[in-house]
Amino acid sequence: MVGKGIMYDSGGISLKPSDAVHATMKQDMSGAGAILAAMSALKALDCKSAVTGYLMCTDNMPSGSATKLGDVLTIRGGTTVEVLNTDAEGRLVMADALVLAAEEKPDAIVDIATLAGACLRALGPRIAGLMGNNDRLMEQVEVSAKETDEPVWQLPMERSYRPELNSDIADIKNMGGPNGGAIHAALFLEEFVAGLPWAHLDIAGPVLVDSDDGWKPKGSSGFGARLLLELALRFQAPTR
């Protein structure tokens, strides 16, 4: 399990607008938080699967040493990434973790992140986006989502959009075109899973609840923790 853990996201040099969104950016660590919460209960529930968690924790702030637009970063394993927007930072820190996870050759990789505002725009504040490269793994995610009342909706991995991530000076860039941002983000992450069964959960919408809603109290919802726990408990290795 790989989780985005941006403890505070100002946008960096690509500074977010000066509005109420800044007050919610302490929740940009919700993916990593969901993994930590799920893993804390695995032993008590006698989970039979071996689970490794990668919590990619940092801040995204402007400073004299901050990542700049046009920088080229080298991800673990050697893939180079041109940075066209420093506010698309989550995929950068998660890329290293996905490579690390793939090196262990697990049966599956599941990542979870508040990755793309486009996913919130598409699915609203109650539903997480689901994408991936293995139908059997995504079916398990969907069953776990239903069992835990943490709804997901599968978005297409439209690989005809992949050329929009091509860079003239690096292997790939961290932003695509103006549309389909959630799909671009998933296509970027897929570059680093070495073809292993992989599912991506974009929880940009349901991590924040405006008012009490069923079992979720107002504020940070903890969305994903129950889903990931259920998935680990019922997990069966998918065919590759």
> Active-site residue numbers?
16, 91
Token representation of residue 59: 């801040």
Q: Could you tell me the sign of the dihedral formed by the alpha carbons of 215, 24, 27, 207, in that order?
A: positive
Whether residue 55 contacts residue 40, with contact meaning beta carbons closer than 8 Å, is answered with: no
Whether residue 126 contacts residue 206, with contact meaning beta carbons closer than 8 Å, is answered with: yes
Taking the C-alpha atoms of residue 110 and residue 198, their distance in angstroms, rounded to an integer, is: 6
C-beta atoms surrounding 192 within 10 Å: 25
Longest CA–CA span in the chain (Å) reads: 50
In a 10 Å sphere around its CB, with 0-12 CB exposed, 13-18 middle and 19+ buried, how is residue 62 labelled?
Answer: middle
Taking the C-alpha atoms of residue 125 and residue 118, their distance in angstroms, rounded to an integer, is: 12
